[in-house]
Amino acid sequence: MDNRPIGIFDSGLGGLTGLKALRELLPEENIVYFADSGRLPYGDKTAGQLRCMAEQNLRFLTGFGVKSILVACGTLSSNAADILAGWPVPTVGVLTSSADWMSRLTGSGPLAVIATEASIRSGGYRKALREVCPHREVVSVGCPDFVPLIESGHTAPGDPLLSEAVRKYLQPVLDSGAEALLLGCTHYGIIEEAITAFLGPEVTLVSAAESGAAALCSLLLKQKMTGGGGKTRFFTSGDPDAFNRSAALFLGEGAGDIQADAVERWEIPQEDRDKI
């Protein structure tokens, strides 16, 4: 039995979709979750900034003696894949795991991926999908408004601002006749209902967060590294009270161990800020 915690990080609420998925697969694990809300959004950062932030966040979680790390962020997974692969702690990003998941789908029609602008600009998702599905067309769309809308609470399927953004960004996906859509940013699972309402139930949605959680679960089981007490510790570089309210709302019944005074703030060191 390995009682060391698992580390998970994202730019904010999106990684909670990975946390939920991992809790369902391995409910006994101890988890340290870091929401880098103070530097949200990641999608407008340069590749250099993102790579630097990836190292900083990995270093922060490694300091807790974690046995593995889930990078529940498509933007960092697609811009810093080599950093994740070379980290001394076993680290799983959502880029490779979600591409692998897409490769298991049957059919021969187009595939689509939506993600932050930085993820799409990196070309990481397109390249990964073409490697595993070489005979299928890949449509990739950046959706810069989705994360700010989700973080500000616009998540209901009938929300006018969200509905407008969904139509704006997903019309090319609809027009392409895509058979499956990869939600390449972990935030997007939170608005899955609105996406399905627009595209229709015949389009298969693949969650980067869920595929990443499944890949990490497989790794831990294979290496016999499971075990723990089912506790979760939350950190944010933003406002702890704001994160607590949003996270508790999103996690619902799974938020029993989230309390306003239990969400801790991590003040990013000035030397790290100066590098961004």
- Output 226-230 pairs: Cβ under 8 A, ≥24 positions apart: 226/1, 226/2, 226/26, 226/28, 226/29, 227/1, 227/2, 227/3, 227/28, 227/29, 228/2, 228/3, 228/4, 228/5, 228/28, 228/29, 228/30, 229/3, 229/28, 229/30, 230/27, 230/28, 230/29, 230/30
Known catalytic membership, residue 217? no
- How would DSSP label each residue in 4-51? PPEEEEESSSTHHHHHHHHHHH-TT--EEEEE-GGG---TTS-HHHHH
Active-site pick, 133, 143, 185, 217:
185
DSSP code, position 227: -
Known catalytic membership, residue 133? no
Reported residue count of the chain is 276
Question: How many helices and strands, by DSSP H and E, does the chain display?
Answer: 13, 10
HEC string for 130-148: HHHCCCCCEEEEECCCHHH
Active-site pick, 52, 73, 133, 217:
73
Count of CB atoms within 10 A of residue 170's CB?
21
SS3 110: coil
Closest CA to 250 of 186, 158, 160: 186
Greatest Cα-to-Cα distance within the chain, rounded to the nearest angstrom: 52
The catalytic residues are 73, 185
